[in-house]
Amino acid sequence: MSRTTTDLAPEDRELTRLAAAFSKAAADLVPGDAPPAVAFESPRNAAFGDFASNVALQLAKRARRPPQQLATEIVSKIFVDDPSLHDVVSEATALGGFINVRLAPAYWQRVVARILSEGDAYGRGAPTGERVSLEFGSANPTGPLVVVQGRTLSLGDSIAHAMRFCGVTVETEWIINDAGSQVDTLGRSLYARYRQIADPAFPFPDDGYPGDYLIPIARELRDAHGARFDDAPESEWLRLFATFGRDRLVAGQRETAERFRVTYDRWQSEKELHESGAVARGVERLRELGHTYESDGAVWMRTTAFGDDKDRVLVRQDGRPTYYAPDVAYHYEKLQRNDRAMLILGPDHHGYVTRLGTIAAAFERPGAISVLIAQLMTTIRDGEVVSLSKRHGDVLTLDDVIDEVGVDAARFFFVMMNADSPMTFDLSLAKEQTNDNPVFYVQYGHARIASIVARAPAELVARAARGEALDRLDAPAEIALARRLSEFPAVVRAVADTYAPSRLARYAQSVAADFTQFYMASRVLTDDADLSTARLALALAAKHVLATSLSLLGVTAPEKMERLEADD
């Protein structure tokens, strides 16, 4: 993980001070127009230290001397200029032109103290004033949410949590695609199920939605209307069946999303956009900006002026808006309410990236709409691929997944891979109560700490919570865990900036692993009250960071779990 003097948090005063010392020493040794920027990077091998800087490599050519020599001179000079830096740095060495720095134990002890004192504020950003619309999960209102949509829901909700944690105001949105022909197809499919209750031989539409999920909804209609529509023409029942089916299915989707711990600030009906005049307003605004023209009786948008491969029709010759017109209207409204808009879409939506980019540019907000594509997902059980086919009604619903593996496992697994990477969801592994299951491993680490705290004397816990006796923390495993905990603010910022909650999932696993190493190396509750206080304080800090990391991913942090061994 790389840190620079510009992205250090205010609490990283010592690192800011150290970066300034490096910069000043380098500038004195190699004069230039401006002091060099100094970056700290965590080396992959902890044996090299806590941080490394390549400032000597950057300046070696201008200095006209080997980078190793320059690095050695910089190390010597920082301590000559400011001997008190020995309170921050326990060791600084030049190796291969890099400057490797090992911070003093007191630095990491102060990290633990800060976590304990700040509590829920640790790592949290101040309000930025930025407003972002985040649309994700939106599914056609023609069936229940399925397993692949669970990934999009998990990604979007975790990103929203991280952005809010970092001070961004996020408005989460779901668009109900209820203005197209698919809703009529839904109505006809539902009508077939309605008829089949009395006449099992009634034919089902070839292009219909064949899942059994329509049968309970059809029974509601049969109970309410009896045989009233059995011999009625389509014009008498289509709108009723389509609307009733849409409403029931959207209500079910919303219930499933909430069961999955995902709530939305706005559920936007596409049909309502048409009825409210929003679509007409969006097209009119494009006309005012000079981005439309008429040809062959249709209204076109000059999307080629903004990088599209062809212009797009907004309004057909017969006056009906195309599918593109609601996109224009919906995102025009989003940009009126927010500084920018972001969408998470499935792998079959690559064509939308350019299309949405042209909308932002046309409304004089280039770059204000971004798209994250969630790649394909394969589901396996017992090593075999779970065969799914919407066309044939073979679906694994998200409710089925929740019933089988639980919300915690599903949400954690769905964010373990970056959205732009295909993933395999192993249902069998997600159910395992072993350390091979990553979510179990992280939750188990949290529960293990809770078990230790529960057995500690109340006064010892109180002292630890106040951060007393932290100067006793100096063992390698203790320092390694404190060092890992210090990364939490930067990890969450990276999730918010790069839309990659997989970083937080990996980080939580690293914290759990480092705690396990600390737990195996250092008995927490000992006969030495001060040593026990210090180690218990470190455990409390780790417990807080684990709980917060899991919470941002929509996963619970249990206080108790089965299979806990006797903890020390």
The position carrying tokens 């309605």 is 194
- Per-residue model confidence as pLDDT tens digits over 215-259: 999 999 999 999 999 999 999 999 999 999 999 999 999 999 999
Q: pLDDT band at residue 389, thresholds of 50, 70 and 90? A: low
Q: Cα separation of 300 and 293, whole Å?
A: 5
Q: Which CATH number applies to 131-178+263-373: 3.40.50.620, 3.40.50.2020, 3.40.50.970, 3.40.50.1000?
A: 3.40.50.620
* DSSP per position, 243-284: HHHHHHHHHHHHHHHHHTT---SEEEEHHHHHHTTHHHHHHH
3-state helix, strand, coil in the chain (%, to 5): 55, 15, 30
Q: What's the one-letter identity of residue 286? A: L
- Per-residue model confidence as pLDDT tens digits over 57-109: 999 999 999 999 999 999 999 999 999 998 889 999 999 999 999 999 999 99
- Per-residue model confidence as pLDDT tens digits over 316-346: 999 999 989 999 999 999 999 999 999 999 8
Q: Cα separation of 445 and 360, whole Å?
A: 45
% of the chain with per-residue pLDDT over 70: 96
Indicate if 438-552 has the same CATH topology as 131-178+263-373.
no
Residue 133, H or E segment? strand 131-136
* DSSP per position, 99-110: EEEEE-HHHHHH
Judge whether 68 and 78 are in contact, CB under 8 Å: no
Q: Over the range 134-154, which residues count as b (16 or more CB within 10 Å of their CB) and which as e?
A: bbbbbbbbbbbbbbbbbbbbb
- Per-residue model confidence as pLDDT tens digits over 514-538: 999 999 999 999 999 999 999 999 9
- Given the DSSP bridges, would you call strands 2-4 and 39-41 parallel, antiparallel or unpaired? antiparallel
Q: Cα separation of 249 and 504, whole Å?
A: 33
Q: Cα separation of 51 and 102, whole Å?
A: 7
As to burial, measured by CB atoms within 10 angstroms (0-12 exposed, 13-18 middle, 19+ buried), residue 182 is middle
CATH number of the 438-552 domain = 1.10.730.10
**Across the strands, what pairs with 98?**
95
Q: Tokens for 147?
A: 């397993």
* Confidence (pLDDT) at 566: 44
- Per-residue model confidence as pLDDT tens digits over 45-54: 878 888 899 9
Q: Cα separation of 200 and 221, whole Å?
A: 16
DSSP state at residue 471: G
Give whole-number Cα distances, 448 to 93, 451, 528, 546, in Å.
38, 5, 21, 12
Residue 181, H or E segment? helix 181-198
* DSSP per position, 113-125: HHHHHHGGGTTPP
**pTM of the complete model:** 0.92
What's the topology of domain 2-103? Gyrase A; domain 2 (3.30.1360)
Per-residue pLDDT for 170 more than 50?
yes
Domain ranges of the chain: 2-103, 131-178+263-373, 181-259, 438-552
- Per-residue model confidence as pLDDT tens digits over 548-560: 999 999 999 999 9
Q: Tokens for 342?
A: 């972001």
